[in-house]
Structure 1
Amino acid sequence: MGLAINDFASLALDLTSGVSAQDRFDRLLTTVRTLLDCDASALLVFRGDQFTPLAINGLATEVLGRRFVVAEHPRLEAIARAGDVVRFPADSDLPDPYDGLIPSHDDTLKVHACVGLPLVANQRLIGALTIDDFNPRQFDRFSDADLRTVSALAAASLNNALLMEKLEQLSGQLGVSLPGADGPPHQSGEIIGQSPAMLALKREIEVVAKTDLTALVLGQTGTGKELVAEAIHGASLRAGKPLIYLNCAALPESVAESELFGHVKGAFTGAISHRQGKFELADGGTLFLDEVGELSLGLQAKLLRVLQYGDLQRVGSDKAIKVDVRIIAATNRDLRQEVLDKRFRADLYHRLSVFPLQVPPLEQRGDDLLLLAGFFLERWRSKLGLSSLRLDEASRRLLMGAAWPGNVRELEHCLHRATVLARAESPTAEVVIHPRHLDRGPTTDPQAGVPAPVSLPGADPGLGFRQATEQFQQRLIRQTLEANGGNWAASARDLGLDTGNLHRLAKRLGMK
C-alpha cells in the first residue's frame, strides 16, 4: 500500500503554511517520518561540494553541525549523481553517514533501509532528502512515483526558501528591506549554532554587514570573534576586496607602527626597502584588528588619526596616503573599564564601538555544543580518513555537563585529542569516542552531580603548575603533529596558533 492523495495534500498544506522556512523544514520532516513510518530523516542543502543539514528528525543533534563533503560520502555522492530516487540495498557496503547517530536505538545498530531523494530545481541539484530505517524492507511498499512526489514537494519548498534568501541578500545590497523574508539558516563564515543567542548574533551580523560602520566584536577568549569578522566582511559590499588580519597582542612595540602604516627605505635600521602596512594592504577592503585592547596608548593615538581623517603616513615619510578601509576590531577586554583605568583612549573607544557585537560564551549556547562537536568530528574524520567518527551517549552527556572556560577553542582541542586517543584504540576505521577519551579538566560529572577532581589533561600528577602545563603542551603538540602527518602549518591551524608562534613554542619546550 502506497501513499494516498490525502497524504500528499497534507504534506503540501504543511509546506505552504505561513510560517518561517525553518518551521516548514521541520514540519516537512515530521510529516515525512509519519507518512513513511521511518526511524530518521534529514533535509540537506547542496552548496559548493558539500551537503549541509538544514533540519533533522530522529537523528542526534550533532548531525546539524556536520558538513558532508560529497566526495567523502559514497551514499550522498550517489544521491547527488542520480537525478532520481535512490534505494540502497540492505546489504550495501557503502558506509551510511548516519550510522550510530539515531539516538533512540542501540548505537551499535546500523541503518539497513536507506532512500535518498535528490532535490532538483531548474535542472540543478539544490539539496537532498534522506530517509532511513533499521527494518530493511520498510520502504518496499512505497512506489518510486510516491517518493518522486515527496521529492518534488520538498524541492519546491527548499527552492522557495533559497530564492527568498537571495532576495534578502539583494535587498541588503540595494538598501531596501523585504518584510517577512525568511530564508533557510546559512552559516556565514561557518558560524555554527542555532541557539537564541547565536541566532541573535547572526541577525546583527547581517545588519552591520550591509553598512560600512566600524564594528567592535566583544567576547571571551575562544568564542570565535575572528569568524564574526570574516562573516561581516563576507556579507558586505567589500567582500571582493581583501580582509587583512592583524593580531595587536603579538605586535612588538618596536615594529607596531610599521606593521600598521608601513615604512620607507632607511626609516630605521633594517628598513632596506619600502614596505606597505596593513592599512594600505586593506585599501578598499576590511582591516581586522584582533585584541585591539593590547595596543599602546601612543599607537592608539596614531590609529585614531587614520580613522578620523582617512589618511596615513609611512614611518620615515612626510607624504600622506589616502586609504579607504573598513575597521572591525575585537577584544576580550572590557574596554569601558580600560577607558576608566586610563589604559585605553576614550575617543578611540567611541570610534571603534559604533556597532558593538557580543559573542556569547559556550556555556550560554545550549545544544550548540553538540552541533559544534559534530562539525569538528566530521573535520577530523575526513583528515584521518576514517569511515565514521562519533560520540557515544555518555560522552555527549559529559560534554554537555562540563565547564568550558576556553569556549569553542577548548572544545575543539578536547575533541581533537579524544579523536587521536580513540583512533589509537580502534581496530577498524569506525571510531567511537568514549568518556575515557575526553580527559576533561575542572568539570562536573553529569551523573554524580559533584565536581570531579581538578587535573590538567595529559599531565602527570604531582607536578608543579608550570611543569604540568609544559608537559601538557608537549603532548598536545605531538598528538596534533601526528594527526597531521608532521605538517607544522596544518598543526598550527588546528591548535589556533600562528605557525611561527608554534615553532617558537616547540623550541622553548625542547621539541626542536
Structure 2
Amino acid sequence: MLQPVAATRPAACTVLIVEDEYIIANDLRLLLLEAGYGVLGIADSVTEARQQLAQQCPDMVLLDIYLRGNETGIDLAGTLAEEGIPFIYLSANDSPSVLEAVNATQPSGYIVKPFREKDVLTALEIGRYRHAHRVEVQLREEKILQIALSEVLAQSQPWPEKLLQVAHLLQTPIGFDLMAVRYEHGDDVFTYRYYRTGFDEYQTLDQEAFLRLLNLSAAHLPELQIVTNELFKAPRCYSQEAYAVLCRQHPLLQSIAKTLRMESALVMPVAIGQDSRFILAFFSRQPDAYRARHLALLDRLEQPVALTLARTLAFEEVARLSEQLRQENSYLQEEVKTTANFEEIIGTSPALLRVFNHVSQVASTDTTVLILGETGTGKELFARAIHNLSARRDKILVKLNCAALPASLIESELFGHEKGAFTGAYDRRIGKFELARGGTIFLDEIGELPPELQAKLLRVLQEKEIERLGSNTPIKTDVRVLVATNRELEKEVSAGRFRMDLYFRLAVFPLTLPPLRERASDIPALASYFAQKAARNIGRAFKGIAPEALAELAAYSWPGNIRELENIIEQSTIVGDGQWPLELGRSLVNSLFQPESTRANAAAGVMGTGPKPAQPPKDLLDVKQIQQETEREYILSILVKTNGRVRGSGGAAELLNLKPTTLEYRMEKLGIRKTITSSGPEA
C-alpha cells in the first residue's frame, strides 16, 4: 500500500522528528524511511532540536507540542518560522487555548494522535505543497513590494513625501509605530521620522518637531547623535531584552523609549556607493515585533532599493547642477549688464589705504565680513574685491539686496523653494545660498532684513545648512558670507529691530568705508575717471577738467558720496555740449570739454588753414596723468607691503589679482623699479 506513494517521493526530502515518546518517534522514523523520506534524527526536547537544527536543515519538521524541559513545541515553532522551515504539529491536545496558540504560529499541518500511516503521509504531502505555495506567494508579494518601492523612490517629488509613501508600503510587511530614515553622504546627514498616529496615518517629524515630541532641547542634539550612531551602525533586530540593554547603556535612549513607549527596534543600513548610505530604522511598542525574517526581508530588498536610490540621487544631482548652471549663467548675464559702476577702486588717500590693508588681511580667510559705510561709499565694490582676492575667486559671487525685495519673497530668494511650496511656485528653484556653493554671497542692506528672517539667517550661519521652502531636507552650505549696511546696527539692536546674536555673528570683522568728504584728495582722480568713462559712453572727446570745477567739487560735502559724484559728472557730460563753465542743479561748475572755439581752431590747424590750435590752459588737469599717479601710488603701497616681491605666493601680483607679466609691464610704464631701499621700492 505504501509502495506507490514511496515511488513518487523525492529522495532529497528530509524530516526531523521532535517527539518525547520514543515508541511514537521510532514508529514515525520507520514509516518515513519506508515511504522514501530521509530522517535526519529524533529529538525529545526543544534544546536538542535546536542543536540538531544548528548542524543541518530539514525540509520538514514533525513537532510534538509538549516535550521534555521547560519549552514546548510552540516555542520551537517560532525558531522554525524565522528560519523558513515548515513544520507539522503532532498532538492529542484539542484545548481551544492550545489550538489558538498553534494557529498563531502558522503551521503547515496538524496531525491528531493517535494517527494512521496514511494520515502522516498525506499531511506531509499537503504540508510540503502549502509551504511551497506560501513561499511562492511570499516571493510574488516581495516582488510587488520591490517594484512599488522603486516607483515611489524614483518619483520627482520632495523626499519627505516620497518617504511617507515608503512608510505606507512597509507598514504591512514590517509593522512599526515610528520609522526613521537617515541619509548619510560625506558630511551631509539628514533624518526623517514618521510617527504613527492612527490606522495608516503618520505625522512627519523634522528635528525640531521630534525634540518637541520628546520634551528635549537643542542642547541634547550631540547626545542624540551619539545614540543614533550607536543604534544605526549595523543591521540588527532588537527584541525587548536587547533593546532594554541598549537603553540602559544610553540614558537618553531610555528616556525616549519611555516617552514613546517603544520596546523593540529593527535597523537596516542600505549602502549606496562608497561614501553614502540610507538607514531604515523601525520602532514598535510590541516587545517582540521584529524577528530574523523581517531582517531577511529587508536584506533581500536592499540591492534593488540601493540601485533605485543611487539612480534617483544621481538624477537629482544632475538636475540640481543643471539648474544651478542655468541660474549661474542667467545671473552672470545680468551681472554683465549691471556691474559696470566701478571697474576698479580709485584713490590713494590714507583713509582708503587703511581699508585696502584691512581687505588684504581678511580676504584670504573665510571670515564673515560686515561692511559698514554711508550710502554710495562703494560697499559692493569692496565686497567684490574681497571675493576676488580670496581662494574662492574662481567661484561665483552672488549678490542680494535685502531692501529690494518684499519680505514675502526674501526667504525664497535666499533659500529657494520646492514646487508647490506656495501659490505661484510652479517649479523648484534653488536659492542664492545654494547658487553660491563654493563661492561668496553678498547680502546688501542687511539691516532691512525682517525679524523672522533674521532668526533663519542666524541658524544658517550656525548650522551651515539651509532648507528650501516646502522641504524638510537640510542642504549643507559651503559659502562665505559678506554683508553690508548703511545703518548703525548697534542702535538697531538697542531698539529691538535687529537680533543681538545675529549682529555678533555678522560683525566678526567689521570693515568701515570712509565717506568721500574724508578722502577729498581722491576727488580729482575719481572725477577724472568718471568723466572719461561718461564721455566714452556717449561718444565725445575728453580733454580734462578745469581747476575751478575741481575746486568746487572738492569743497562740496557729498552726502551721496561716490555715487553722487558719478551722477554729477555724468549729468555734466550729457548737458554740457562742450560748453563751459556749466551751471548745474547743485551749483557745481564742471568744464569737461574745451570750448567750441578751441575745437574749431584745432580742426583748422589739422587742415593746414587758419591759425594754430590753441593750447589748453596750463592749469588744466590731465586726467590721464591723474590716473597714472593714482595707479602708481597704489602699486607702490602694495610693493612696500610685499617688500618689493612681485611674483609667487603673497607677491604683489597675487594681491593685485594681476598676472606677474602684466604688473611688471605697468611698473615699467609708470617708472617703478624693483630695487628695494630701506623705505621700499624705488620710484
TM-score by length of 1: 0.47
Higher helix share: 2
Q: Higher RCO, 1 or 2 (CA under 8 Å, sep at least 6)?
A: 1
